[in-house]
Amino acid sequence: MTLNAIGNGRYEGSMDGLSEGDYTFTANASSDGKIYGEDKGRFAVGQMNIEFLETKMNKPFLEQLAYRTGGKYYNVGEAVDVARDLEKEVNFSSKEVIRSQDIELWNWKYLGGAIVLLLGIEWFLRKRSGML
């Protein structure tokens, strides 16, 4: 495959028909049979997602979707109407949920047992090595 110069030492090209997977490549720059440089790399070809085939907004589809789901379609110019309509909606209310949990370590019997055990081991090791 031949790459086309796009300026500033950058080149581009395309290749059709590659299946999904990981690929490696080796590229070299040459002129009149003389190689000036070589580089290696890798790239991945992923699955084609249908949402990338048509990236323009489909207004009739969005309006139909809003109608069928009981919603409402807004244009960009009607953005201020969104907040107003939400405030009018009877079923819409803000709800704040706060969850907190306190763990009292001093009343936890397993922590107390672990502390007593560790202090006992320390005392035993000090006694054995003559530090007491």
Residue type, 72: K
Is the separation of the CB atoms in 40 and 22 below 8 Å?
A: no
pTM attached to this predicted model: 0.34
The radius of gyration of the chain from alpha carbons, rounded to an integer in Å, stands at 34
Condensed to tens digits (0 to 9), the pLDDT of residues 61-76 reads 999 999 999 889 999 8
Strand pairing class (10-12; 21-31): unpaired
d(CA 30, CA 38): 9
Determine the pLDDT at residue 98.
93
Using pLDDT thresholds of 50, 70 and 90, give the confidence band for residue 60. Answer: very high
Determine the pLDDT at residue 2.
76
Condensed to tens digits (0 to 9), the pLDDT of residues 99-126 reads 998 877 667 788 888 999 999 999 999 9
Residue 92 has pLDDT above 70, yes or no: no
Q: Calculate what percentage of the chain has a pLDDT beyond 90.
A: 26
Condensed to tens digits (0 to 9), the pLDDT of residues 15-44 reads 888 888 899 989 888 889 898 888 899 988
Taking Cα atoms as reference points, which of 21, 22, 4 lies closest to residue 13? 4
SS (H, E, C) the chain: CCCEEEECCEEECCCCCCCCEEEEEEEEEEECCEEEEEEEEEEEECCCCHHHCCCCCCHHHHHHHHHHCCCCCCCHHHHHHHHHHHHHCCCCCCCCCCCCCCCCHHHCHHHHHHHHHHHHHHHHHHHHCCCC
Q: Domain segments of the chain: what residues?
A: 4-45, 52-88, 102-132
